[in-house]
Amino acid sequence: MPTHYHGNPEEIRALNAFIKLMRAADSLEARLAQRGCLEELTPSQFGVLETLYHLGSLCQSELAHKILKSSGNMTMVIDNLEKQGLVRRERDTQDRRFITVHLTEKGREKIEAVLPCHVKAIVEEFSVLTPAEQETLGELCKKLGKRETRPSAQAVSIPAVEQGK
């Protein structure tokens, strides 16, 4: 369903693309969840385990950055993984604010058990696209995701009335 916003062609085109991107992502995530490959893991928990599995131990803030989660959300995700014995935290002896998250043996076993099924499900979902389309989609998503963020003049200007003048 396209946007119902009555704007200029640039606004309508951008909004329609945004709607399609968000719906596709939500739909894909829902279909992957239905497959049950992650077992009892949430997508965020899976992301933490997969990141630690492939990159090794990381500090909690790096981990949050890698899986695009807030530090507050990351604390809860890691708390729950730690309760299950899948990760362990270690405070730096020099700087107690610095916490490194490590994958436990149980965590390694869990990610090695669920990862092949999840990869297979993703491959099957993306099979609707040709290899060239998958490459193009990847490049477009990377371009959109890496866009330099500069607030527009409209977004940062505060009318004199709101400034108390």
Q: What is the mean pLDDT of residues 21-49?
A: 93
CA distance 155 to 158: 8
> 22 and 58: one domain?
no
pTM for the full predicted model: 0.79
CA distance 145 to 147: 6
pLDDT at 5: 84
Pair of tokens at residue 59 = 């500090």
Longest Cα–Cα distance in the chain: 62
Q: Give tens-digit pLDDT for 102-133.
A: 999 999 999 999 999 999 999 999 999 999 99
CATH classification at residue 52: 1.10.10.10
Q: Specify if 103 maps to a domain.
A: yes
Three-state DSSP class for 31? Answer: helix
Number of domains in the chain: 2
> 123 and 44: one domain?
yes
> 19 and 84: one domain?
no
Q: Give tens-digit pLDDT for 90-103.
A: 988 888 778 899 99
> 109 and 47: one domain?
yes
> 92 and 64: one domain?
yes
- Please answer whether residues 11 and 5 qualify as being in contact, where contact means their C-beta atoms are separated by less than 8 angstroms: yes
Helix (H) / strand (E) element for 88: namely: strand 87-91
Q: Specify if 147 maps to a domain.
A: no
> 98 and 19: one domain?
no
> 28 and 53: one domain?
no
Q: Give tens-digit pLDDT for 129-144.
A: 999 999 999 999 999 9
Helix (H) / strand (E) element for 58: namely: strand 58-59
- Please answer whether residues 101 and 52 qualify as being in contact, where contact means their C-beta atoms are separated by less than 8 angstroms: yes
pLDDT at 165: 44
What is the number of other CB atoms lying within 10 angstroms of the CB of residue 78?
A: 22
> 100 and 85: one domain?
yes
Residue 158 has pLDDT above 60, yes or no: no
CA distance 66 to 92: 20
> 21 and 90: one domain?
no
> 65 and 9: one domain?
no
Q: Which domain holds residue 11?
A: 1-35
Q: What is the mean pLDDT of residues 29-50?
A: 93
